[in-house]
Amino acid sequence: DQQVKQNSPSLSVQEGRISILNCDYTNSMFDYFLWYKKYPAEGPTFLISISSIKDKNEDGRFTVFLNKSAKHLSLHIVPSQPGDSAVYFCAATLFFGNEKLTFGTGTRLTIIP
């Protein structure tokens, strides 16, 4: 039972344009959501997070949007840069008393120069 789903295995975006990565979840008890970025031969690196009490969190070029009613979140990267080419994992967790991250299967983002 895949509680966190990333339905697009890959995405290609022109440099300078907006990249939008999507994630859906099924467990309404999740109350914290994260995005991790992974380069080949490296471990995942924490990128940005959002609490379920918010609908938007922004950090520089990265913005995460949360739609609780639709159980959907998205990561926007604008403008996209070649260094953004990586695999992006969406993850979700219960905040208090449960540190378990439930990951999606990842989306490979390729930025085309």
Partner 1 sequence: DAMVIQNPRYQVTQFGKPVTLSCSQTLNHNVMYWYQQKSSQAPKLLFHYYDKDFNNEADTPDNFQSRRPNTSFCFLDIRSPGLGDAAMYLCATSRDFRTGVFQPQHFGDGTRLSIL
How crowded is residue 15: how many other Cβ atoms within 10 Å of its Cβ?
Answer: 13
Closer residue to partner 1 (CB): 49 or 74: 49
Residue among 2 and 27 whose Cβ is closer to partner 1: 2
d(CA 31, CA 38): 23
CB of 58 to partner 1, least distance (A): 17
Closer to partner 1 by Cβ: residue 42 or 69? 42
Q: How far is the CB of 104 from partner 1 (least distance, A)?
A: 6
- Chain contacts with partner 1 (rule: CB under 8 A): 2, 4, 9, 32, 34, 36, 41-46, 49, 51, 89, 95-97, 99-106
Could you tell me the smallest distance in angstroms from the CB atom of residue 28 to partner 1? 19
Given a contact cutoff of 8 angstroms between Cβ atoms, the answer to whether 22 and 74 are in contact is yes
- β-bridge mates for residue 72, sequence order: 24, 67
Query: What stretches of the chain adopt beta strand conformation (E)?
Result: 4-5, 10-14, 19-25, 32-38, 45-51, 56-59, 62-67, 72-77, 86-93, 102-103, 107-112
For the CB of residue 105, give the shortest distance to partner 1 in the complex, in Å: 5
Question: In terms of CB distance, is 37 or 111 closer to partner 1?
Answer: 37
